[in-house]
Amino acid sequence: MARVYFGTDGIRGRVGCDPMTVDFALRLASAAARVLAHDGGMVLIGKDTRLSGYMFESALEAGFVASGVDVLLAGPLPTPAIAYMTRHLACNFGVVISASHNPYEDNGIKFFDRQGLKLSEEVEERIEKVLALGPLTRTSRELGRARRLDTERLAYQQFCSSLLPAGMNLSELKLVIDCANGAAYKVAPRILADLEAEIVPIGCSPNGRNINDGCGSTRPELLQLTVPGVRAQAGIALDGDGDRVVMVDHLGRLVDGDQLLYVIAAEAQVAGTLRGPVVGTVMSNFGLELALRRLGVEFRRAPVGDRHVLAQLIEYGGVLGGETSGHILSLDRTTTGDGLVTALQVLRIIKQTGRPLAELAAGMEKLPQVLLNVQVAQRFDPDAVPAISAAVRRIEAHLAGEGRIVLRASGTEPVIRVMVEGRDESEVRGCADELAQVVRSAAPA
């Protein structure tokens, strides 16, 4: 059975359109309870700051309680915090209501198992299979109970703080933290402040509609202006649900996920703690591969998506991998991508070495890479369209082995991602623009 609703990162869509409706959320809760908590049990629900999160939280709560499952309501917390606390509180599973880096008009629902891991495709298929059974309502004696978390939320903050060596703090570091007006708007500044950093918060005033709006990891321009403007040592930009991070050095220059992966891998290689290969994706900058090769570190590429990065890390015994977007996996510390955990690792390296972020990232030279997101009417396989395939072959011949082309459909929105990489920036941009225009013209209506 092919999955209909679950995509690369849970279920996601425009609020009010199938499947992101109250009716579907209620049915989904009942189906998930049947598959993940056969005889009652407990579920943890977290969310980001979207206005629609309250609506979906209530629908899921009703579906779980009616199915006999106890519900813990965490409120706004980063996705990785819910993964951690699902395991820490011994829940049967965890649920996050978030559309991550998407605009506020979208929302999504994703699950973690009792180990804090994303569900396998097989389990997602089982949930979809029982969706047709409709919501279950048990008798009064069998209903679950719901309550909001209080001090239990501090466990995640304590976990993050424990990632620094005993006796180390972030004093003498001035940091700008941009939480994208999203799920980390409370917990991230608190963690950094508890570690004695001087912080300048931006993107920490959510109103239900401004998540990812001109801020966060997808729009770091304000952070790039603020860091040198307040003479901070570094800036941190999370996305709406806190599982991605990019950073900014003291000069206001962006340090993306590939560069952060290099900084962490290089330090771990020197310390002798790096195990297995580092895993990136087909979109990872070729400069990362070259820089790791110079360090004697094996590099592998997975298809786009943290699910695929995780699969290769497990298969080859690695602990470190990630994507250019800043979704980085550190399996020796967490079970899922965690923007705060990644940022704290980099800040620890800055403190231990006394070297600024700009110097640490300088060991990786990024090759010019242009990524264009082409909006289309519906998702489709670009490789199956002859006109697009012909354009790819023509541009590859023009690059003459001195560049790469990656063309793929987004797994979460109707977008075709066009990536061209090479040694000459103007040539790369021209090729990307040309290919993007072909995609627009040849896309199915």
25: nearest Cα among 51, 49, 55, 45: 55
Pair 74, 88: CB distance under 8 Å: no
DSSP conformational letter for 119:
P
**Which of 52, 98, 100, 325 is labelled catalytic?**
100
| List of residues 6+ apart from 163 with CB closer than 8 A | 333, 341, 344, 345, 348
Backbone conformation region of residue 317, classed left if phi is above 0, alpha if psi is from -120 to 50, else beta = left
100 is catalytic: yes
CB 93 within 8 A of CB 111: yes
| Token pair recorded at residue 214 | 């001109």
d(CA 211, CA 401): 41
Task: Please give the distance of CA 46 from its chain centroid, rounded to a whole number.
Answer: 15
Taking the alpha carbons at both ends of the chain, their separation in whole angstroms is 27
List C-alpha distances in Å: 340 to 70, 78, 79, 343, 348: 29, 9, 11, 5, 12
Alpha helices in 272-422 (DSSP H): 286-294, 306-316, 339-353, 357-361, 386-399
Residues with catalytic roles: 100
